[in-house]
Amino acid sequence: MYKVLLVLLIIPLISCSKSDGQISFEDIGKDAIEITDSIMVYSSSKEMTLWTLYADRLIKYPKKDIMNLSNIVLKLMEKDGSLGATIYADSAQVNEDQETIYAEGNIKIYSKEGDIFGKSIIWDRKKDEILSDDSVMVIKDGNIIKGDSFYSDSRFHHVTLHKATGEGELGETEVLW
């Protein structure tokens, strides 16, 4: 009985392998990944850089058009070429098909319009929108505003906070952000 059981276990192992023992490149490509340390990726249009992304590590899944990045710095440029905002995050996932970047962990956004701190953001590059469903804190001119979520254009010129509370002083001028 033990000999029959042993033969039954060995037959499937032998029958699944190729007779020549070679693995085709087609088989390898199905689950291939690319790993790169210390990477810089940028997007440009008409000789102007639109954004630059720096990361400590990139793991790319070419068949899925997905890239996972760690310790990122994303610099978004204004239309005049000046730096509009810098975003820091522990990790990010880029989906080329959907043209989105999902970043999470210690989000820090520094811009001319104010600084934003949170847990996660999504940048929809097609719509040029950045949003978060997590709580955020915005610091502008020494004032602190907290919100349950936020929405903005990618240059942070128009920031909308939902369920916002604030600390600070308002001057005589109207606040429009």
* Domains of the chain with bracketed CATH: 31-167 (2.60.450.10)
pTM of the model: 0.73
Report which of 104, 106, 101 is spatially closest to residue 91, judged by C-alpha positions. Answer: 104
Q: What angle do CA 149, 116, 101 make, to 5 degrees?
A: 70
- Angle 123-81-94 from CA coordinates, rounded to 5°: 25
CA separation for the pair 82, 49 (Å, rounded): 10
> Are the CB atoms for 121 and 131 separated by under 8 Å?
yes
Q: Provide the residue count of the chain.
A: 177
Q: What are the tens digits of pLDDT across the range 30-61?
A: 566 888 899 998 888 888 888 898 999 999 88
What pLDDT is attached to residue 113?
Answer: 82
Q: Which two tokens stand for residue 140?
A: 């502008």
* Residue whose pair of structure tokens reads 């440009």 in the numeric block: 44
Q: Which token pair is 12?
A: 């499937």
Confidence of residue 172 (pLDDT cuts 50, 70, 90): low
> How far is it, in rounded angstroms, from Cα 171 to Cα 48?
38
Q: Answer yes or no: are the C-beta atoms of 51 and 43 closer than 8 Å.
A: yes
What are the pLDDT digits (tens) for 83-122? 989 999 999 998 888 889 999 999 999 988 889 999 999 9
Residue pair 89/131 in contact by the 8 Å Cβ criterion: no
